[in-house]
Chains A and B, each alone.
Chain A
């Protein structure tokens, strides 16, 4: 009986303060970036002038073409190595290739912008695509005859 009285009193006197906060947990998920080579740069059909072979990334049909895919409309930073060494197949002779690259969110080479070494003002289009055309020039004055191979390195990252 005594227990019942104490319980009744405590309920009547209770004045609880209810404090509630709501905290948001969040993350922004972005797609991983993938690079697809549409076609490689074709040096064999280009004609050298004054011992220098040039491929204009904005106008030449011999320019290489790549497409990067990622999160639609995401800002990206693009950087690339301007010079890479080409090595003669079945030999050790080398040539220095000077790359020039043009980029465009549209699939349109003629309106693509020439890229600097590092570029921060580009973004994927609304389908998550960004197009690159790869050209450049190479001095053939001291080149030994033969087939040369090399790589092109481009980094694309979200900013």
Chain B
């Protein structure tokens, strides 16, 4: 009798320390295609700016648009990493040199509404820190409804084209041009997108 009581106490203790939320990532049980494209092939280009002219902004209507085409009921995780400055001749060795670098502030939004998402539907991303952020959203917005039931496991007859939608990621921002050396300045934004 003494032995049984001891085992029961041990199990209760263990349960108290191992409880955690459960999450099932349905994309892990099948290979779904995810296509990332660029709606406008131009760079995020601020054009010609005069040294010492201060802040120049590209708003959401004039920014870079990345398209995310995938299974509409799955979530994607978007990770964006941008440098904090543009560098003369793109040379990161100019980092920290105020004569050869221009501070850059990244802004971002996404649209995943029905039909063709547009700027008017865009949801602004506010958790940008040091020009980096990670955000998760469904390819197609659930329209404030609770998540549906788990999708049926895909079979060989599964046709992804029938359940595809495209979400849009907008990247834009501003630069603050001090009395820097003249010349071409650039840096890179890396966007990585995967299913959750």
With both chains docked as a complex, state the minimum distance between the C-beta of A62 and any C-beta of chain B, in angstroms.
34
Chain B interfacial residues counted at CB < 8 A? 51
Hey, which bits of chain A sit against chain B, CB under 8 A?
10, 13-32, 71-72, 158
Hey, which bits of chain B sit against chain A, CB under 8 A?
25, 27-36, 38, 43-53, 56, 64, 66, 82-83, 86, 102, 104, 171, 173, 175, 177, 180-195
Q: How far is the CA of A27 from the CA of B33 in the complex (A)?
A: 35
Q: How far is the CA of A19 from the CA of B27 in the complex (A)?
A: 15
Q: In the complex, what residues of B have CB within 8 A of residue A27's CB? A: 45-49, 56, 86, 102, 175, 177, 184-186
Q: In the complex, what residues of B have CB within 8 A of residue A29's CB? A: 48-51, 102, 177, 180-185
A selection of 29 A-B contacts at a CB cut-off of 8 Å is: A10-B28, A15-B31, A17-B32, A17-B195, A18-B194, A20-B191, A20-B192, A21-B36, A23-B38, A23-B64, A23-B171, A23-B191, A24-B43, A25-B45, A25-B186, A25-B187, A25-B188, A25-B189, A26-B43, A26-B46, A26-B86, A27-B56, A27-B86, A27-B175, A31-B51, A31-B182, A32-B50, A32-B53, A72-B182
Q: How far is the CA of A18 from the CA of B34 in the complex (A)?
A: 8
Q: In the complex, what residues of A have CB within 8 A of residue B25's CB? A: 10
- Tell me if B104 and A25 are in contact (CB < 8 A): yes
Residue among A13, A19, A24, A31 with the highest chain B CB neighbour number at 10 A: A19
**B47 touches which of A16, A17, A18, A28 (Cβ 8 Å):** A28
Q: In the complex, what residues of B have CB within 8 A of residue A13's CB? A: 28-29
- Tell me if A26 and B191 are in contact (CB < 8 A): no
- Tell me if A17 and B82 are in contact (CB < 8 A): no
Q: In the complex, what residues of A have CB within 8 A of residue B30's CB? A: 15
Q: In the complex, what residues of B have CB within 8 A of residue A19's CB? A: 34-36, 192-194
With both chains docked as a complex, state the minimum distance between the C-beta of B100 and any C-beta of chain A, in angstroms.
10
Q: In the complex, what residues of B have CB within 8 A of residue A17's CB? A: 31-34, 194-195
With both chains docked as a complex, state the minimum distance between the C-beta of A59 and any C-beta of chain B, in angstroms.
34
Q: In the complex, what residues of B have CB within 8 A of residue A26's CB? A: 43-46, 86, 184-186
Residue of B nearest to A18 (CB): B194
- Tell me if A21 and B66 are in contact (CB < 8 A): yes
Would you list the 7 A-B pairs with minimal beta carbon distance, nearest first? A27-B46, A19-B36, A15-B31, A24-B43, A26-B186, A23-B189, A71-B182
Q: In the complex, what residues of B have CB within 8 A of residue A28's CB? A: 47-49, 183-185
Q: How far is the CA of A27 from the CA of B89 in the complex (A)?
A: 10
- Tell me if B188 and A158 are in contact (CB < 8 A): no
